[in-house]
């Protein structure tokens, strides 16, 4: 079996302030560092053959802390993959999250992101955001799906049979990973900071567990 252990980074300043945080970055809070250390303790006896983070500071710092607590990390191969970055929110980057979804959802008759997801599906939110973005730079559903599948395939191909990878990524990215690799969860909640999501990539990628 080949496995990918995805972890959402610890809490950041922009998480704390309820701001949209995609390709913009902010440091981990003290709580975020504690969350990362707690995840490291949960995974301390798991042998990883590959450790990956996105190129965002918050993901790199989280990976550092997790590996500090892992008993098998001494000679591990570390890589940075841009493809596991958070979603690109275009001109909504750094904007208050509630205000953002009021702007996006208003014309659709619903100001709640969760209600929109339940009605249209998770990945469709990307097209709604792209259309509402005055610059039309926010990532589309097609762009995101292509990026997720490419990133999973890349890591899958790096692993040999019986090996596992640790990948520190981001909340909305991981929600969409979960939705793409299972047909059993029509609505996928936001994963907690520091939570673990496992994908079996032995053959066809399949979601094993989410937000644990």
- Determine, yes or no, domain membership for 118: no
Question: What is the tally of structural domains in the chain?
Answer: 1
Q: What is the pLDDT of residue 172?
A: 97
Catalytic residue flag (residue 145): no
> Is there a binding annotation on residue 10?
yes
13 annotated as a binding-site residue: yes
The burial of 99, by beta-carbon neighbours within 10 Å (0-12 exposed, 13-18 middle, 19 or more buried), is given as middle
The stretch 3-12 carries a mean pLDDT of: 98
For the chain, what percent of residues have pLDDT higher than 70? 100
Q: Which range marks the domain in which residue 74 is found?
A: 3-89+139-209
Compute the residue count for the chain.
212
> Does any domain span residue 102?
no
Confidence of residue 206 (pLDDT cuts 50, 70, 90): very high
User: Known catalytic residue: 9?
Assistant: yes
Q: Is the pLDDT of residue 73 over 90?
A: no
The response to whether 11 counts as a known ligand-binding position is yes
Q: Is residue 11 part of a domain?
A: yes
Residue 161 lies in a domain: yes
9 is in an annotated binding site: yes
Decide if 37 is inside a domain.
Answer: yes
Summarize the confidence of residues 21-44 as an average pLDDT: 98
Active-site choice (9, 61, 130, 170): 9
- Provide the pLDDT confidence category of residue 3 given band limits of 50, 70 and 90: very high
Q: Is residue 10 part of a domain?
A: yes
14 belongs to an annotated ligand binding site: yes
Average pLDDT for 102-131: 93
**DSSP tag of 91:** G
**What pLDDT sits at residue 201?**
98
Q: Is 51 exposed, middle or buried (0-12, 13-18, 19+ CB in 10 A)?
A: buried
**Joined tokens for residue 16:** 């704390």
Q: Which of 86, 93, 139, 170 is catalytic?
A: 86
Q: How far is CA 14 from CA 70, 95, 162, 171, in A?
A: 28, 10, 38, 13
Q: For residue 124, tell me if it sits in a domain.
A: no
Does any domain span residue 70?
yes
In this prediction the pTM is: 0.97
Q: What is the CATH number of the domain that holds 66?
A: 3.40.50.1240
- pLDDT reported for residue 183: 84
Residue 75 has pLDDT above 90, yes or no: no
């Amino acid at each position: 079996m080949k496995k990918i252990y995805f972890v959402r980074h610890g809490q950041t300043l922009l998480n704390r302030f309820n701001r949209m945080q995609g390709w913009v970055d902010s440091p981990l809070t003290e709580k975020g560092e504690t969350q990362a250390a707690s995840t490291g303790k949960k995974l301390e006896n798991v042998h990883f053959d590959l450790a990956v983070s996105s190129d965002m500071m918050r993901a790199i710092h989280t990976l550092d802390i997790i590996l500090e607590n892992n008993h098998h990390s001494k000679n591990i191969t570390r890589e940075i993959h841009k493809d596991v970055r958070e979603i690109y929110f275009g001109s909504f980057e750094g904007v208050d999250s509630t205000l953002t979804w009021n702007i996006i959802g208003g014309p659709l008759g619903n100001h709640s992101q969760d209600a929109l997801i339940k009605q249209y599906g998770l990945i469709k939110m990307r097209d709604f955001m792209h259309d509402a973005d005055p610059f039309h730079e926010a990532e589309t559903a097609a762009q995101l799906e292509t990026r997720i599948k490419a990133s999973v395939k890349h890591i899958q191909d790096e692993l040999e049979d019986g090996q596992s990878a640790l990948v520190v990524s981001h909340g909305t990215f991981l929600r969409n990973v979960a939705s793409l690799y299972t047909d059993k969860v029509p609505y996928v909640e936001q994963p907690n900071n520091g939570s673990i999501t496992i994908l079996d990539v032995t053959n066809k990628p399949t979601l094993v567990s989410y937000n644990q």
